[in-house]
Chains A and B, each alone.
Chain A
Amino acid sequence: MILQKRLMVCASAIGLIAGATAPASAAPWVRGYVVGQYEYAFRYGGRPDFARGAEIEPGVDCKHGASVHFANDTQTKIAIARQKYRSQKEIDWVAKPPGLDEVRAPVLTRFWLWVRAVSYRGYKRDIETYVNPWAAEDPGQPQVTSRIGDGFNLDGKIKPTDFVSPDGERGVDNNLYRAWGCDAPWRGNGNATLALRANDKMQDGLYTMVVRVSGNKDPMNDDNATLEIGYSPDKIVKDARGSVAVDYSYRILQSAQYTRLKARIRNGVVETEQVEHLHSPRIAWFYDQTGDANFSKGKVRLNMSADGLTATGLLGGYRDWRELYAENTFAQNGGEQGVREHEDHVALYYALRRNADGMVNPRTGRNDGISSVYRIKAASAYVVDPENLAMEVPKLVRDEERMQSFQAIKAATIKGAENRVPQLVPPGTMEFGVGATEGLMNGLPSADFFMSTLYRQHYANEDEDGYPPWMQEYKKHPEGGFQPKKPKKPAATPAQEPKKPQNQVQNGDRVVADAKR
């Protein structure tokens, strides 16, 4: 009897406690966010106060610091000396072009000369390297050696090579971090150059990503919530200090870059289910790279602040590593980005390949995917449905052809890697500095040597300067610096319209094809 009473008292007490922690209200709720920062979830391990020495910020992530390729003539020399068909003279002269001080822009001339040289490092002189990275020897890439990494346990296993999350979760799969975490333009404490560039372009209107969380209980604790993630056709609104402004409205398109996931919320942390395909916008800094990221076995974790103003989180899954390679390499062209950012895409290709850990291809038996985690930081917003629910992602009409060229070069890269047949560089790109390198040889005494020694692919209908047809407009463009022989007097023209604010990323004005805003 006493026991029975005690049990009743206990049960009542548990009921009261449960009642006390239950949501104050149980009504439908929605929280929306616009993403202001979107980048690879690479955990920086260097000291923020590090003064640069011989190595670039060594840390627990990368013991010798960030990788550095093509940063000086010694490094470039090593890269091109691997090809046995080059003469010593060619190697020496590419590394230190003779007579460089006789040209008007020595740094630029050397830059584009290096672009040309490092774009051809295959086992034969005429194989373009960035489209055919498998045909070049692996130049080597440092990898993350730390055990701590952000992400998810995507495969449900705890393996010796897995990362441990900062809060102690074991079995974290994030091999993209392992492979590329020491790559200079992606490593930093909020200042990695390509992360900054991508975020800058996103905030300037290249694309917008939104998240909407909804439920029926308490926004901070709801075991039957929904998280939607997707593309918005509305540009990010900034406040007077240049930050992402809060509480503006954005439409979310239920298009190719959209996913709706079931979620549970505990103390403001939204944890979604793992779905076969998680579609969301890609990280991009040029229009040609934009599109669907398509994570396999993807999921999202979002930490919403109690005041609802901000959220931070992770989004991850397995991504096709060939697509990751192409997205990082061909925004501009492999040589240009490599020499400028001091990264070597051939090394990055092999790093992805050997760290691939998911999406087994039943035909080849190989892993086509690599566990990848992206980090997001978001600000409060009204995320609403568009009037036309079938609205598609708008197209930038002026850059659509460039997008097609990007897709063609990406397809050629994947085809070559699968068939092991070297592919040509499709037309429409500026791969291997086509045109630009020739133009910058002016005044260089060793120009004849370089032009006759360094191989490049040629296209039909190139002009006498070596510019293919798709470079002609650029060549004539006044801002491109090509001076007409006889300067014409400016005709009386109507006053030019002022440039629009937030004119994005040198890509020209956004042309919304199927929606007027």
Chain B
Amino acid sequence: MFSDVNKDFKAKTGDLMKRGIAITLLGATMLLAAPFASLAQAPAPPTEPGPQTPPMVAPAKPGVFTATKKGPTGYHLVVTGHSFTSRDAIEHYLAYRAATLTQEQKNSWFTLTETHAKGDTVPASKPDPAGLRYSFRMAYWRPMWRTKSAGSPAWKSWSPFSGAAFPDAKSISDYEVSADIVMHKGNMNDADPLAFEAGAVDDWLVNQVSPPT
């Protein structure tokens, strides 16, 4: 990704075993004392990491993403596709669209409304105000799925709370992943595990996602 210097480098591990033991002392000294060299020479200018053009996610083809308003600040989001890549990639794209839509609507964070059913074996997430606080936790971004297998016209639902295994990726010919979100303004309720800071999610995903096909 970065400079040629990095690409060309090969770790010279063979020599490492032969190094003087005194290097350990160097590490110890650096640990508590001066953080790095006493810079006898000026550092070279930083190498630019390639183009500095802000990233942009390609627009999705019609019908791939839909957002239906649900209540005053809620939306039902759906991503549809045929070529199944991976569960993570598709769910991340849905999260990215949730984040960008939230910002477009002049809101700063959103919450996922989990869909639970009788017989679910995976427990619902619970807030822990005294525990860790997060800007986002992708482990709690758990949208609902519908899939079709090749040769079968029927849709099958899959819930991340059901405890059932995710459908066999190789057999998926069509899929639909959906989430209900509610948008909010102001400082986020970071004690809620289902709260996602839209800007932070957008930043983290913008270089990672692309629209499904």
How many inter-chain residue pairs (CB < 8 Å) link A and B? 250
B47 at the interface (CB under 8 A from A): yes
Per-residue contact bits, chain B 144-159, to A (CB 8 Å; 1 contact, 0 not): 0000000000000000
**Contact of B199 with A286 in the complex, beta carbons under 8 Å:** no
A473: nearest residue on chain B (CB-CB)? Answer: B40
| Inter-subunit contact B30/A464 (CB<8 Å) | no
Scan residues 117-164 of chain B and give those whose CB is less than 8 A from a CB of chain A. 129-138
* CB contact list, B14-39 vs A, under 8 A: 15-31, 33-39
Which residues of the other chain, B, contact A139 by a CB distance below 8 angstroms? 132
Is A506 in contact with B33, judged by CB distance below 8 angstroms?
Answer: yes
Instruction: Let me know if A420 and B206 touch, CB within 8 A.
Output: yes
Do B23 and A442 touch (CB < 8 A)?
Answer: yes
Question: In the complex, are the beta carbons of B31 and A336 less than 8 A apart?
Answer: yes
Can you list 23 pairs linking A and B with CB atoms under 8 Å apart?
A126-B1, A127-B1, A135-B203, A138-B200, A140-B137, A145-B130, A357-B187, A402-B35, A417-B203, A424-B3, A424-B46, A427-B44, A428-B39, A438-B16, A442-B16, A442-B18, A442-B21, A458-B5, A471-B37, A474-B34, A481-B23, A481-B24, A483-B22
- Interface-forming stretch among A1-9, A106-114, A245-253, A377-385? A106-114
* In the complex, chain A residues whose CB is within 8 Å of the CB of B2: 126, 424, 457
Output the residue of B34, B42, B53 with the most chain A CB within 10 A.
Answer: B34
Contact indicator A336/B20 (Cβ below 8 Å)? no
| Contacts of A434-470 to chain B: CB distance below 8 A | 436, 438-443, 447-448, 451-452, 457-460, 462, 464-466, 469-470
**Binary CB contact string for chain A from 126 to 144 against chain B (1 if under 8 A, 0 otherwise):** 1100000011111111110
Give complex CA distance A124, B2 in Å.
Answer: 12
In the complex, A84→B138 CA distance in Å? 12
Find out whether the CB atom of B5 lies under 8 angstroms from the CB atom of A460.
Answer: yes
Give Cα distance in the complex from A428 to B45, angstroms: 9
Interface of B is mostly: loop
Contact residue among B11, B36, B187 (Cβ-Cβ distance under 8 Å from A470): B36
**Contact, CB under 8 Å: B136 / A138:** yes
Is the C-beta of A477 less than 8 angstroms from some C-beta in chain B?
yes
Chain B: interface size category: 35 or more
Name the contact of B11 in the complex, choosing from A353, A415, A451, A475 (C-beta under 8 A).
Answer: A451
B22/A507 in contact, CB under 8 A = no
Q: Which residues of A contact B (CB under 8 A)?
A: 63-64, 67, 84, 103-105, 108-109, 111-112, 123-124, 126-127, 134-143, 145, 161, 286, 331-333, 336, 340, 347, 350-351, 353-355, 357, 365-366, 398-399, 401-402, 404-405, 408, 412, 415, 417, 419-430, 436, 438-443, 447-448, 451-452, 457-460, 462, 464-466, 469-475, 477, 479-483, 506-508
B68 within 8 A of A: no
Contact flag A104-B208 (CB < 8 Å), given A63-B130, A111-B31, A405-B43: no
B140 CB, min distance to chain A CBs, angstroms? 12
Q: In the complex, which residues of chain B have a beta carbon less than 8 angstroms from the beta carbon of A142?
A: 130-133
- In the bound assembly, the distance between CA atoms of A421 and B53 in angstroms comes to 7
